[in-house]
Amino acid sequence: MSLELLLIIAFSGAFLTYLSGKISSQLRDGVAVLISLGLVAIVSFLYNVQTETVFYQGFFGISLILRMNSLAWFFAIAIVSFTALCIIYSLSYMKDCERSNYYYFMMLLINASMLTIVLAGDLVTFFVAWEIMSWSTFLLISYNRNGALQAGIKYIVLSLIGSMCMLVGILSIYTSFGTVNIADVANHLTPSSVGYKLFLLIIFSITFGIKNAIMPLHTWLPDAYAESPSPFSAVLSGMLTRMGVFGFLLIMYVIVGMKTTLHLGRGFLSFNTILCWLGAITIVIPTFIAMLQNDAKKLLAWHGIGQGGYMIVGIAFGTSLGAAGGIFHTLNHATYIVLLFLSVGAIEYSTNGLRDLNSLGGLFKKMPIAFFGGLLGISGLIGVPLTNGFVSKWLIYKTLILGNAPFLAFAALLGTWGTVLSVYKFLHNLFLGQLPEEHKEIKKAPLTMQIPIVILSFTIILFGILPGLPLKVINSIIVAAGFQALDINIWGVTSETGTLNMLNIFAAIAVFGAIFWGIFKVARKSTPVDQYDNYAAGAAVPKNKYHYTVEYYAPFYRMGKPFLKDIFDMFYNRIAEAIGSICDSVRKIYTGYVGSYVMYIVLFIASLIFVQLTWSIF
Amino acid sequence: MVNPILLIVVPLGLAFALPIVNLISKKIIKYIPVLAFLFNLILSLLLIPKVLEQTIIVKIGGFHPPFGINLFVGPVGILFSTLIALAGFLVSIYALSYIKEGPKEKYHILYLLLLTGATGVVLTGDMFNLFVFFEILCISSYALVAYLGNKAGIESSIKYLIQGSVGSSLLLLGIGLLYGQLGTLNMADIANQINSISSPSIFVPMIFIITGLGIEAAIFPLNAWLPDAHSSAPSSISAILSGIAIEVGLYAVIRVIFTIFNASSFLMFFVFLGVLTLLIGEMSAFSQKNIKRMLAYSSIGQIGLIMFAISLNTQLGISAGFFQMISHTLGKGLLFLSVGFLIYKTGSMKISSFEGIGKKMPITSLLFTIGAFSIVGLPPFAGFASKFMIIKAALTTGQLLFTVLIGVILLGTVIEGAYFFKVIQSIYFKGTTDIIKRDEAPLIALISMSIFVLLIIFIGVYPDFIARILNSAASEFINRIDYIRSVLG
């Protein structure tokens, strides 16, 4: 199966879905699912294929190339799988929404453009796909109207700034070396000066940093995640944002090359150390800001930023273990964040769009599947053993400890600590505690929404117990980037400095679990009580008078609120306002009075004469 | 061989024949511009391969240059005449359903004259002839701006007229001064003799001519007439004024600088002026509430970008500038045309009145969106390819200054993106969520706009299609000696 055909199917599938929606919505749903599952099948057949094709030469004579290798495959399979799950989920979630044809069209278009990004073998294809992804994302973020509009503008402006940086970078490469083929560029770049390499790294880092929401470039993300339709929030957080990680891998370890990237600068002031520290800041601050959120999706969004920090720390640290951890964490994060967004989406669906943590609660019995999804999701997010998040976080911690970076390791730990607190709030306020009276009778989440949740929950456990499956592919990625190969087996990683074997952990947990189960079995029976049998301070809680998920962590909230502000967001808003008012005053040049306009003509002549008299250029 | 002079004669003749036809039947007059520009388009397309082989010099009346008037049909001329004919043809199809009120026959006469003037400016090889065609272009546009007859239209037409007349006087003064010193009006002959006289006495006519032409070219600060004029004209005329008229003005400016005065040392000044024009245009557009004014300011920005590219004075830079002109004609033309019907259906030019129009007029809104994407420079549309080429040209020079200026220009692009995306949001994501009955633009207008879209996508995906003509056009400007030699023999 050639790569062109894959992309043709992906892009034309998007159009086909839109057109079939004009005929009937059932047909459209069928086509959308078929296309997305078909892409999963095709991409999985391409496993272990190494190929490269020039598919077009009509763009200024530049050879546009598609390339498949382990890095591309790893991201491609993740993109198509997560999108397919989200499409299946959307079938019922988006059922009665307006413009659903448009929604599916954009989802599949974004899917196709992300696929093109990872398959691109040259920078122009990469850029074009990147831009298509950016504007189609903008169109889908704005979908929910109202608050979404502001989020959309914020996203597209930052995204445009990023792409303009990248465009300059790409064209500077093109004019310097006459080629945009990634492999050739890497070869040409080896002898060029350190300054130029640093310039490229920085300019591309701005682009990818914006996409991956590294502090201080993260401000578009919370609003965008919160305001999008939930299945799209899932794609956005799971894969689209992580195109930034892909970009970092590409620029640092494919284009500039590992050996150079890791030796740019001296001591603390080197490129990758600074990036590591930005990553560490990105881990800590957003995780604590997440704790203050009362909107379930915003809480997840802030975690999305924080988890991105782990990936960056792992990748930028630049050891085999770190890079593997960073890449693996990208996949793992996608699994559980998609799961969490889908679970929140299920609640939104059942409660008519509620996602306020202060007014929900006790949904555990009503929505068991969503609850287990949420539970496994937050376990992955925290990194509880036997979930996939544990393995990648273990790899990253190990890297930091072995690499003598105690402060970074501390930041990573601090992040986990904050995560535990805030996701407990998430789980508790949604599923545990009191069930508000009005949610006694709620819509049941349909099967098409439950299937993706179940599949993702299963994946979390699967990759948690058998991390060797994905690590095998990741190993070949890091080997291709020039790192030392890791010793991978199906249960984990072996190395002389420490071995991770999930089999042992699994066995240990199983044994302890059995013992505890036995103890509880023997001990005195507990009495199950009704969900409404609640007491506070020894007195029965009056119904609908007191809801104790409200203002969870209130003391912390009071303490942290003054410090945990998104100062960058405020700063950028200030800049935007300033630019707006400057623009407004510039407009006043055009006074509307002809006399002054004629004056301008005279001034123009005067300035020409002035230029001539001063520099006598003519 | 077909004579390129037909490119001017046919529309001009039809313009004068139109009142007579009007006496016979009032219904068929609106098809005359369509026919005229279809003819011009076919003729230009047929001429392209010949012109690319060898420049055609048309000697009117058989007088050899420098005596008599000659047409210089080089790659630049044919590129522009194709572009003018294409835009003229598509916009006249659009006007079939758009122009319903007012003195229709006058509209069609003026429309023909406007584009005849534009074609004449780009094809002529004579300085005074240039002035004449320029006046035809300007005077018909003054009248067309006031076509709707409302207060805003007449006011801005008068403002335009005042500034335009100042420009024309300066232009005439400049030409007169040159004629007095050199005794010739033939452009090639002037170019040939320009070094024989002292530089101060050329400098005065040069700044007069540049300023005079610069007013129509919308160079900052000579462009104050533009936002008023472009926003109060009927949308079909706005499309032509933005897409053709100012570009023809810019053509005249650079022709004068490059070929006649050989003043490429002056171009550094124009690089800065271009960036300034771009920034002022984009920044003024940013806070506009009126959609047509916003588009007009955006045209100023685009002109600045074109000026910047051409003033780089390299082969690549000039081709990139021409490419940007093509993508601007297509993109801005499409924007004005689609906005024409959006305004017609909502009855207001306010951006806020477009809320929810995406449901009422889905196709027109989609066409607007594509035009906006192309102007902002997003792939896979034409605007991206041209912007790509401009940045490449600037970075190829290898000078730090140009790299910095590219940064400033891209900042302008971000501002441009911000205001266009806001409009797109109002069209699609604001207003009522109820199902509204569709009320689409007429089919004939949709077809005309769809051709714009097809061209935008085609050129955006396959820019090599026009690479050759752009390249020869750039060579024509760079190789001044060839121009002189091919005319004077």
Tokens at B282, concatenated: 């984009």
Are the beta carbons of A604 and B211 separated by less than 8 Å? Answer: yes
Minimum Cα–Cα distance from A146: chain B residue: B430
Binary contact (B227, A152; C-beta < 8 A): no
Residues of chain B with pLDDT below 50 are none
Q: Name every chain B residue with its beta carbon within 8 A of the beta carbon of A149.
A: 425, 429-430
**Partner-chain contact B225 A597, CB within 8 Å:** yes
Tell me how close the Cα of B410 comes to any Cα of chain A, in angstroms: 6
CB < 8 Å to A604, chain B: 211, 214, 219, 221-222
Mean pLDDT on A172-198: 86
Token representation of residue A567: 């100062």
Helix (H) or strand (E) holding A493: strand A492-494
**What is the chain A residue with the closest CA to B460?**
A59
CB contact under 8 A, A160 and B380: no
Contact: A60, B385; criterion CB under 8 Å: yes
Contact B220, B282 (CB under 8 A): no
Strand partners, A608: none
Residue B362 contacts A, CB cutoff 8 Å? no
For the stretch A447-458, pLDDT in tens is: 888 899 999 999
Q: Does B211 touch chain A (CB under 8 A)?
A: yes
Q: In chain A, whose CA is at the least distance from the CA of B165? A: A598
Contact A168 B410 (CB under 8 A): yes
Q: Is the pLDDT of residue A152 over 80?
A: yes
* Angstroms from A380 CA to nearest CA on chain B: 36
State the average pLDDT over residues A164-187. Answer: 89
- Out of A59, A584, A617, the one facing B287 most closely (by C-beta) is A584
Rounded to the nearest angstrom, the minimum Cα separation between A162 and chain B is 10
Q: What is the pLDDT of residue B39?
A: 92
- pLDDT for position B81: 93
- Higher pLDDT: A533 or B98? It is B98
CB A355 within 8 A of CB A297: yes
> H/E/C letters for each residue in B456-482?
HHHHHHCHHHHHHHHHHHHHHHHCHHH
Higher per-residue pLDDT: A246 or A556: A246
Give yes or no for a cis peptide into B66 (omega within 30° of 0). Answer: yes
Assign A206 a pLDDT band (cuts: 50, 70, 90).
Answer: very high
pLDDT tens, position by position, A254-279: 888 877 777 777 767 788 888 888 99
pLDDT of residue B27: 83
The stretch A484-512 carries a mean pLDDT of 80
pTM of the complete model beyond 0.90 = yes
**Amino acid A399: pLDDT:** 85
Q: What is the pLDDT of residue B371?
A: 93
Distance to chain A for B19, nearest Cα, Å: 35
Buried b (16+ CB within 10 A) or exposed e, B425-451: bbbbbbbeeeeeeeeebeeebbebbbb
**Per residue in B45-58, pLDDT tens?**
999 999 888 888 88
Residue of A nearest to B220 (CA): A604
pLDDT digits (tens, 9 = 90+) for A542-598: 666 666 667 777 788 788 777 777 788 888 888 888 888 888 888 888 887 888 888
Residue A159 scores a pLDDT above 70:
yes
Question: Minimal Cα distance from A598: which residue of B?
Answer: B163
Residue B335's pLDDT is 93
Does the beta-carbon distance from B203 to A587 stay under 8 Å? no
pLDDT reported for residue B111? 92
Q: Name every chain B residue with its beta carbon within 8 A of the beta carbon of A580.
A: 286-287
Span A29-40, average pLDDT: 90
Between positions 79 and 118 of B, the ones with CB within 8 A of A are none
Closest residue to A600, CB basis, from B224, B388, B392 = B224
- Would the CB atoms of A583 and B283 count as touching at under 8 Å? yes
Angle, vertex CA A468, rays to CA A464 and CA A471, nearest 5: 100
A160 → closest Cβ in B288, B417, B422: B417
* Number of inter-chain CB pairs under 8 A, A vs B: 172
pLDDT band of A116, cuts 50, 70, 90: very high
Minimal Cβ distance to B162: which of A160, A174, A598: A598
Contacts of A596 in chain B (CB under 8 A): 224
Q: Which of the two residues, A12 and B359, has the higher pLDDT score? A: A12
Residue with token string 């700063």: A571
Residue B36 Cα distances to A494, B18, B49, angstroms: 80, 11, 21
Of A172, A601, A618, the CB nearest to B166: A601
Q: Cβ separation of B413 and A160 shorter than 8 Å?
A: yes
B376 to chain A: which residues are within 8 Å by CB?
A: 160
Cβ A167 vs Cβ B388: under 8 Å: yes
Q: Residue B140: which of B30, B225, B237 has the closest Cα?
A: B237
Distance from CA of A155 to the nearest CA of B (A): 10
Q: Which helix (H) or strand (E) holds B300?
A: helix B291-311
Subunit contact A598:B163, Cβ cutoff 8 A: yes
Q: Does any CB of chain A come closer than 8 Å to the CB of residue B286? A: yes
Residues of chain A with C-beta less than 8 angstroms from the C-beta of B167: 601
Residues 219-248 of B with CB under 8 A from A: 219, 221-222, 224-225, 227-228
The C-alpha of B389 sits at a distance from chain A's nearest C-alpha, in angstroms, of 9
Find residues 119-148 of chain B whose CB sits inside 8 Å of chain A. none
Name the residue of chain B whose CA is nearest to A203's CA: B407
Q: For A583, which residue in chain B has the nearest alpha carbon?
A: B283
User: Closest Cα to residue A114, out of A170, A75, A65, A167?
Assistant: A75
Token code pair at residue A37: 């599952």
B159 and A594 in contact by Cβ < 8 A? yes
Q: Which residue type is seen at B312?
A: L
CA separation, residue B486 to residues A76, B64, B70, B74, B259 (Å): 58, 12, 12, 10, 13
Of A132, A148, A603, the CB nearest to B221: A603
Domain boundaries, chain A: 264-484+545-552, 572-615
Nearest beta carbon to residue A583 from set B163, B287, B398:
B287
pLDDT in tens, A305-348: 989 889 998 888 888 888 888 999 999 999 999 999 998 888 88
Q: In angstroms, what separates the C-alpha of A196 from chain B's closest C-alpha?
A: 13
In contact, B431 and B356? CB cutoff 8 Å: yes
Asked if the C-beta of B404 comes within 8 angstroms of chain A's C-beta atoms, the answer is: no
What is the enclosing helix (H) or strand (E) of B394?
A: helix B382-396
Give the pLDDT confidence score for residue A427 in this predicted structure: 85
Q: Does B163 touch chain A (CB under 8 A)?
A: yes
pLDDT over threshold 80, residue A71:
yes
**Which of A172-176, A196-200, A556-560, B269-273 shows the lowest mean pLDDT across its residues?**
A556-560
Nearest to B462 among A58, A592, A617 (CB): A58
**B269 and A611 in contact by Cβ < 8 A?**
yes
Q: Which of A157, A580, A612 sits opposite B203 (nearest CB)?
A: A612
The nearest alpha carbon in chain A to B435 belongs to: A98
Residue in chain B closest to A587 (alpha carbons) equals: B284
Residues A495-519 have a mean pLDDT of 83
Residue in A128, A175, A605 nearest the CB of B207 = A605
Contact assessment for residue A105 and residue B362, using Cβ atoms and an 8 Å cutoff: no
Pair of tokens at residue B18: 């139109």
| CB-closest option in B286, B413, B424 to A583 | B286
* pLDDT tens digits, one per residue of A513-526: 899 988 888 887 77
Inter-chain residue contact B378 with A131, CB threshold 8 Å: yes
Dist CA B356 CA B433 (whole Å): 8
